Amino acid sequence: NKDQILNILPLVEVSFAQVVASFEKLSVSPETGEDISQPSETDIAPPDSSNFFELIEKLDKSLQNADPVESEYWLREISACLSSDPSDKKELEYLIQQIGDYNFDDARAVLSRFNQKRMRDEG
């Protein structure tokens, strides 16, 4: 019994290290690598849509890398830039669903359509 535990222990340690690394990613900004601090109410600025297309590119790259943590981060940033347009909300909900289901290729297709629509609307 002791030998079995000693044989399994290294696997448990590796698994635990992966879990710890995932939690650390949740509290670190993918862009800067710095800790994400919670803003106070006075620090919260209105969403800046000027960098919307840059955020789209970053989300696409994280989807291409199949990184769910980073993808959700960029999705939240994009969501903050969106208006209350019902079609935007519908696309965003579908994108959230695809990322949550780890369907990164489908999410990239949805993101591409969404990006093209936004470019037409802005252009």
Report which secondary-structure segment, H or E, holds 63: helix 52-64
- How many CA atoms lie within 13 Å of 118's alpha carbon, on the beta-carbon side? 23
Cα(26)–Cα(55) distance, integer angstroms: 18
Range in 59-63, 70-74, 85-89 the model is least confident about: 85-89
Is the confidence at residue 53, as pLDDT, over 90?
no
What is the percentage of the chain residues whose pLDDT exceeds 90? Answer: 16
Q: Is 121 exposed, middle or buried (0-12, 13-18, 19+ CB in 10 A)?
A: exposed
DSSP codes joined into one string, 66-118: T-HHHHHHHHHHHHHH--S-HHHHHHHHHHHHHHHTT-HHHHHHHHHHHHHHH
Cα(8)–Cα(41) distance, integer angstroms: 48
Alpha carbon 104 to chain centroid distance?
11
What is the percentage of the chain residues whose pLDDT exceeds 70? Answer: 72
Contact 56, 78 (CB under 8 A): yes
pTM exceeding the 0.75 threshold for the entire prediction: no
Is the confidence at residue 106, as pLDDT, over 90?
yes
